[in-house]
Structures are given as structure tokens and as C-alpha cells.
Amino acid sequence: MPGNPILLCAPQSDLRDRLERELTASGYPVSSVYTPAEAVAALRDARFDLVVADGLAVTGALGSIRSASTVPTPCLVVAPAGDVEARIAFLEAGADDVLPAGWGHRELEARIEALLIRSGRVQPADRSTAPGQVVTFFSPKGGVGTTTLAVNTALLLAGGDHVGSGFPGQKVLLVDLDLQFGQVATHLNLNPRFDIAGLSSDEPALNDSEVAASYLSVHSTGVSVLAAPSIPDAEARVGIEELERIMSLLRPRFDHVVIDAGSRLDPRTLWTLEQADTHIFVIFPEIAALRATSLMLGYLAETATLRARTHFVVNHIFPKELLKTRDIENLLRARPAAEIPYTEVEMIRAVNEGVPLVSSRPSSPAAAALRVVAQTVMGIENRAPTKDRRPERRSVLFGRRSPSREARADRRSRSREAHPPRDRR
């Protein structure tokens, strides 16, 4: 948010130059000092809305820096990349937030904006009132990769060097609406301080978009995350009324709102599906999952008013192809927008490392399929030809058609004529 003066404290020239360049490019007035003593003196002489400091240079002096002015100034500290203990130490010493070295420009902007909002020092800039496009990921069967697809799609829509070309970069909000056991934060290696249950219980925040935005956690890619509750029973605090108010506040701030709706079709999920512009229904190619999907579609047709574009994505979570794509098409009467190929360990490793597949292994076949999903959300048609399409040999979904008794007899007769029995003598 341009207009808020920032004090930069960094003795190392390369770090200081980079921060000055990026902060200035974002429209912030920047004043630079080299030592904590100079920072304290500057805060006593002039007003600053935020201090950005090299954590190693201000160790032991954060308390003095924060209290140098009449009203404590929030501090964003830069920490060594990958040093979790250092980040914890800086937070315990008084830092309001910690930025790991190697950050992206959008992450820096988002963290600064969140701190300014939280401290009440925002100078609002003009914002577009056009609401962001809502994309809902859902499956009636759990464990089919709904969260994986939602997280990777959000990162692709946000763009940046980590996902390659083809995605211009947009402001993206990722909402974890699997309210009991949502794992969006785990997939992104985030430890959110705030979540959707806390926001739902904060009446002032539900009346002010700037305060509501302070409940978001920011990933290094620039994706903002509204995390699921940290305890399962907190879901009771999130009702349809609260969801409606949250969406009305946050949706206009983003180009896309990606929602991981989990696998439970409750009134909150129904309301979310009704508000969405695009539905991505994730399918596992086995009979029980397809029957559940068929039942879900029938139920939605009878009970909900849906206006969204609907797409199906097949996720092959087992190595063996249990059903052909044409079998799925026969039941759903729709062609899947994408098929995610089976990966033996890549998906699991990506979750364990907290680095989504499109960032950690962008050249893998699964990442290429995930790009197709994101392009579908953007309205770009990019479907691969369906394998093994032979209309003359079509099969029914839940088992192949058995030939009639007459056909079997005729087939045996022709076989005997073509291959007469040998004389055993």
C-alpha cells in the first residue's frame, strides 16, 4: 500500500539495495540506516509506519526499536533461509513477522500489507470493485486429491518464476473450507496464526475488509491463505451467514478465490457451490467413486441453483487403470477436462516437503496435467485426445455387455469350422 513510510535497517549492502529497490517499486517512501542505534534515533526524529530489518543485525535490539517511538512500530525481520530456530527466536524477541531470505516480491508486499493492516496504519489505495472469480474444488469421496489440485491450481494462477510461462500472475486467495481436518496449510508448509473460525467470531473484522484481510496467511508465492480451524469442533463457528460476510469482504480484493471444499456436502458447501463461477469435481476412476459422483450430481440438480461452469478432473491415485476414460464419460456424459497421471512418490513427497508439485517438479507429467486444470479455470481449452476411443467396442460402465446365447453359439460353430478337431489315431 503506497504512502506508508518505511525505515530500513540493514548493514549489508546487497540486502539493503534489494529491499530499497523492491520497496520503492511498490510505492513506499524508504529511509535507510545501518545499525540498530541509528534506527532508534531515526524513529525518535520522524514517523515511520513499519521497520524492515536484517534479523542478524538487530538481534537483541528489537525491543528498543519497537519502543523508540510513542506508539510501538511494527517490525518485519529478514531471517536466514531455512533456519526455523532463528525465525522462532526473532518472533520471541519481539518481531511482528519474519521474512525468510530468498523471498519473492509479491510475498514481501503481502507481508507488509498484512502488518500495516494489523497495526491500523493503512492508507487505503484505490481498489477494483469487481469480485474475484470463485473456483470450488469438491469431491463426494475423500482421499482423491482435492486439496492437492486446489493448492497447485492456486499457485499456477498466482504465476511467477516458480511455475514457468503461460500464467501472467494474479492475486489469489486460497480458502480451506474442509473445516474439520483441512490440510491446505500443510501442503504449503504454513503455520497460520489465524484461521477462518477466528475470523467468523470477530465481529469488527466481519465489518471491515482491511481487518478481515489480517486473518490471511501469505505464502512465499504470494498466494493468500484463509486456513481451516486448528481444532475440529471450531467448525461450529463458521455458518452460512459468516461465510457470506467473509466472501463479500475478501472476494473483491482478489482476481481468483480458490476454495478447497473437501468432501462433505453440508449446507455451507451447497452455499459455496451456488456462489462459484467454476466447479472442479475431482474423480477417482473406480465404481464406488463414480456412483457417488452420479448421486451428487442428481442431488445438486434437485436442491441447488448452480450457475457455474462444471469440469471433471480424473486423478489416477493407483498405478493400475481401473476404468477406462470412456467408461467415465458414459456415466457423466461429459469429457474430463484433465487426467492427472499416477505418480509413485512425487505427490506424497510434495506434501511432506510442503512444496507443491508445480513448484518442486514443474517438468513432471503430473505438473503438466495440473497446468491443464489451471488453464481450464482460466477458460483456455487444452484437452489431450482421449486414449483408446473405439466406438464400435463401447462398454457399459459397471461391466462389459455379455454377448447373447445365440451369439456365443454362433461364435463356437465358426471356430469349429475354422479349426476342425485332429484325428488322434
At residue 303 the predicted structure's pLDDT band, cuts being 50, 70 and 90, is confident
**pLDDT for residue 146 is more than 70:** yes
Q: Which amino acid is at 386?
A: T
Which candidate, 411, 311, 360, 292, places its Cα nearest to that of 155? 360
Query: In this predicted structure, what is the pLDDT of residue 161?
Result: 64
146-158 vs 365-377: helix crossing angle, rounded to 10 = 70
**pLDDT for residue 2 is more than 50:** yes
The grid cell for 104 is: 519473492
The grid cell for 345 is: 512418490
At residue 227 the predicted structure's pLDDT band, cuts being 50, 70 and 90, is very high
Query: In this predicted structure, what is the pLDDT of residue 259?
Result: 96
What residue ranges define each of the domains in the chain, with the CATH number in brackets?
6-118 (3.40.50.2300), 133-377 (3.40.50.300)
Query: In this predicted structure, what is the pLDDT of residue 387?
Result: 44
**Angstrom distance (rounded) from CA 83 to CA 79:** 7
**The overall pTM is greater than 0.75:** no
Query: In this predicted structure, what is the pLDDT of residue 123?
Result: 46
Query: In this predicted structure, what is the pLDDT of residue 128?
Result: 41
| Letter string b/e over residues 8-37, b meaning 16 or more CB atoms within 10 A of that residue's CB | bbbeeeebbebbbebbeebebebebbbebe
Summarize the confidence of residues 298-308 as an average pLDDT: 78
The grid cell for 170 is: 494474479
Query: In this predicted structure, what is the pLDDT of residue 114?
Result: 74
Query: In this predicted structure, what is the pLDDT of residue 214?
Result: 92
Which candidate, 164, 168, 176, 155, places its Cα nearest to that of 219? 155
Provide the greatest CA pair distance for the chain.
Answer: 117
Which is more confident, 62 or 355?
355
Sign of CA dihedral 75, 79, 82, 88: negative
Query: In this predicted structure, what is the pLDDT of residue 55?
Result: 77
**Angstrom distance (rounded) from CA 35 to CA 151:** 40
Summarize the confidence of residues 308-321 as an average pLDDT: 84
Instruction: Kindly report the average pLDDT of the chain as a whole number.
Output: 81
At residue 162 the predicted structure's pLDDT band, cuts being 50, 70 and 90, is low
Residue length of the chain: 425
Cross-strand partners of 141: none
Sign of CA dihedral 231, 113, 219, 98: negative
At residue 271 the predicted structure's pLDDT band, cuts being 50, 70 and 90, is very high
Percent of the chain predicted with pLDDT > 90: 31
Query: In this predicted structure, what is the pLDDT of residue 348?
Result: 86
**pLDDT for residue 419 is more than 80:** no
**pLDDT for residue 127 is more than 60:** no
Radius of gyration for the alpha carbons in the chain, expressed in angstroms and rounded: 27
Least confident of 31-35, 109-113, 207-211, 410-414: 410-414
